[in-house]
Amino acid sequence: MSPTKYILGEIAGAGGMGVVHRAVADGQPGSFAIKQLRPELVNETAMVRRFENELRVGRLLQHPNIVRVVDDGDTAAGPPFFAMEWVEGEPLGRRIARGGASSTHEAIAIITRLLDALAYAHDHGVVHGDVKADNVLVAGQGEDLQVTLIDWGLARFLAEPVTIATDFVSGTPGYMSPEVLHGEPPGIPADLYAAGVLLYELLTGVSPFGRGEPADIVERQLYGEIEPPSTLIPGRTLHHGLEMAILHTLAKEPAQRPASARVLADAIALHANAPEVWSPPSEAPSLAVAEFSASAATRDWRPNPSTRRRLAIGTSDARLAVEAALSRDDGNEIAAAYLARASELLSRHQLRESARQLQLAVDTLDLTSDPSAALWPVLLSLAAIHGGLGDRPHARRIAQEARGHAERAHAEIGVRRADALLRRLAH
């Protein structure tokens, strides 16, 4: 089969790695988006590897909210390129800068579609690594709303070691999670953090970290307090639970964020039909586009050694094991990984953080297809920690729940351990 010949049109987008043209193809209807590696980068191994990685992700992920790669391209005649479907839509940053804050219903509709795309990618072991307003295209509204996540140039396969620019961090300052700014590779919590930033922007019309030079934004990311979104939208009712979900997602410690894109989507969807008393302003606020990402390009830089640190849960093997287990959606593997993480925290006498991790495991396993075989060991460990913290009534309730799960899983050892723990908690 002869390679498809494309006729390039106007430039639709450009970044540090490549240029995207709108194009048509001989004998084929419609338009395509052609992404071509910049000619001056064809001999730079790291950039070529990044480009190839994006193509590899595009071949793997087939989802209605993710841009599709339709042709690998013929690289014999020039710089590497690949063809994607042409997606109609406006970058989310431009949409917010033009129209200001969205209604709660519209904001939730956009974010839940984005989270559906991220959940699918995470299920396939891929993190996007550069979720930002310019990488989300939005078209239509209501039932016809279409949201598409694009530009997978910084995507990472969770099961593979980091091999690209390991001395640098990459991303857009206003959307990069604190652990990535400290030099860690992006994981599932980093994608969720960026989605939380986008939801904040949709509801308020501004970034949670303001504008200014990248160094100022990074400083606020790492050390600043986030202003609750409700304080920025006077006269509008924002449900407390939705606000808490946003602030939870923007926690500086990745362990304190939701366990997965589905968990976050479920928490947000609870408020999709809440009544809203609010009218958008007659004129959109005057916003600098740089408050979002339209002029804030993805970039690489070396973290300052004075700010590089290990977060509370570190970059341990236990944490990476949890990410890998979540990507495979294996209940027993998820339970084992969280138990290992909790054990690591206990060894550092971090009882409350260990309990938080085990609760995240319970919330996650509740969403798997058959959590019964995996859940009772997690619940027993959680009950024991609450008992150690002095909350015996809570510990007994969890231990009883663990016993029930062990019975349903026909795990005699689990039943015996639950009975023993309940006896200890009774005294």
**For the chain, what's the residue count?**
427
Nearest to 180 by CA among 132, 221, 150, 122: 221
Distance, in Å, from the CA atom of 83 to the CA atom of 391, rounded to the nearest integer, reads 58
Residue 304, Cβ neighbours under 10 Å: how many? 12
> 3-class DSSP state for residue 289?
helix
* Cβ pair 238, 104 in contact under 8 A: yes
Identify the bridge partners of residue 8 per DSSP, sorted by sequence position.
23
Nearest to 305 by CA among 176, 196, 182: 182
Tens-digit pLDDT profile for residues 336-368: 887 887 877 776 667 787 888 888 888 777 765
Residues near 92 by Cβ (< 8 Å), separated by ≥ 6?
110, 133, 134, 136, 137, 138, 198, 202, 292
Quickly state the pLDDT bin for 318 (edges 50, 70, 90): low
Over range 19-26, report the average pLDDT: 86
* Cβ pair 163, 169 in contact under 8 A: no
Distance, in Å, from the CA atom of 89 to the CA atom of 106, rounded to the nearest integer, reads 15
Nearest to 356 by CA among 330, 334, 382, 376: 382
pLDDT at 307 over 70: no
- DSSP letter at 312 equals T
What is the reported pLDDT for 343?
78
Write the single-letter amino acid at 115.
L
* Cβ pair 156, 124 in contact under 8 A: no
Quickly state the pLDDT bin for 147 (edges 50, 70, 90): very high
Over range 125-138, report the average pLDDT: 93
Query: What domains are defined for the chain?
Result: 6-85 (3.30.200.20), 90-280+288-301 (1.10.510.10), 317-426 (1.25.40.10)
For the question of residue 191 being annotated catalytic, the response is: no
Quickly state the pLDDT bin for 197 (edges 50, 70, 90): very high
What is the reported pLDDT for 302?
58
Segment holding 341, helix H or strand E? helix 331-347
Identify the bridge partners of residue 146 per DSSP, sorted by sequence position.
139
Share of the chain above pLDDT 90, in %: 22
pLDDT at 322 over 90: no
Over range 150-172, report the average pLDDT: 73
pTM: 0.68
Distance, in Å, from the CA atom of 399 to the CA atom of 36, rounded to the nearest integer, reads 57
Distance, in Å, from the CA atom of 142 to the CA atom of 80, rounded to the nearest integer, reads 39
What is the reported pLDDT for 125?
93
pLDDT at 278 over 60: no
What is the reported pLDDT for 369?
52
pLDDT at 169 over 60: yes
Phi, psi of 62 (to 5 degrees): -125, 95
What is the greatest pairwise CA distance in the chain? 80
State the average pLDDT for the chain. Answer: 80
Among residues 26, 116, 130, 370, the one annotated as catalytic is: 130
Helices 372-388 & 412-426 angle (0-180, nearest 10)? 20
Quickly state the pLDDT bin for 308 (edges 50, 70, 90): very low
> 3-class DSSP state for residue 120?
helix
Quickly state the pLDDT bin for 397 (edges 50, 70, 90): very high
Angle at 371 between CA 367 and CA 372, to 5 degrees: 145
Mean pLDDT lowest among 56-60, 129-133, 335-339:
335-339
Report in angstroms the alpha-carbon separations of 125 from 57, 101, 155, 299, 328: 10, 33, 10, 24, 7
Tens-digit pLDDT profile for residues 373-382: 678 888 988 9
What is the reported pLDDT for 162?
59
> 3-class DSSP state for residue 376?
helix
* Cβ pair 24, 9 in contact under 8 A: yes
Report H helices in 163-233.
178-181, 188-204, 214-223
Q: Give 22's Cβ-side CA count (13 Å radius).
A: 9
CA dihedral sign, ordered 155, 160, 163, 165? positive
What is the reported pLDDT for 39?
80
